[in-house]
Each structure stands twice: as structure tokens, then as C-alpha cells.
Amino acid sequence: MDEQVTVSSNYQVVIPKKIRRELGIRAGQKISVKQRDKKIVFDVESVIDKYAGSIEPSCWGEDPVTTIRKWRDEDRG
């Protein structure tokens, strides 16, 4: 999906609503920005990617799936 946006005087862009909804982007969420040749690429990090490898199987007495679900729910607010 290609959309055109305008860069503000503060070098900000607004991600179109349809794209925000499809990708589940929320205000305050961190998004990676990369340059690829002459393109700017925005990469939305999933909660799984964010916390991958950071917990042990017995972390806090819970299984990893339960812990990740809690983190996901906290991340969503």
C-alpha cells in the first residue's frame, strides 16, 4: 500500500489512519526508522521481537508465554 504524506516544518510525518489501524500502531509507540538506498523504511516492532530471549523458562514462577502475554497487555495500555 503506497500513501503520500507531507513533511512538516518540524520534519514530522503523520502515518495514515488506515496504515496505523492495520499495523496496530498507537500513540507513543516506538518505531524503527531505517534508510535503504533512497528510501525511508519504518519498522513496527512486535512485543515478541521486543522481548525475545529476555526471559528464562521459570522467570517469576510463570511460563514464558504467560509472561509475554502480560508484557503485551501492559504495552497496549
pLDDT tens digits, 12-37: 999 999 999 998 888 988 888 999 99
Does residue 40 share a domain with residue 4?
yes
Same structural domain, 39 and 60? no
* Pair 36, 51 in one domain: no
- The domain containing residue 10 runs over which residues? 1-44
pLDDT at 54 over 70: no
Give yes or no: residues 32 and 53 share one domain.
no
DSSP structure string for 22-76: HHT--TT--EEEEEETTEEEEEEPPHHHHHTT-S-TTGGGS-HHHHHHHHHHHHH
Q: Which residue has the higher pLDDT, 9 or 32?
A: 9
CATH number, position 34: 2.10.260.10
Q: What length is written for the chain? A: 77
Q: How many domains does the chain have?
A: 2
Looking at the fold, whether 33 and 62 belong to one and the same domain comes out as: no
- Do 66 and 31 fall within a single domain? no
Residues 6+ apart with CB under 8 A from 64: 55, 56, 57
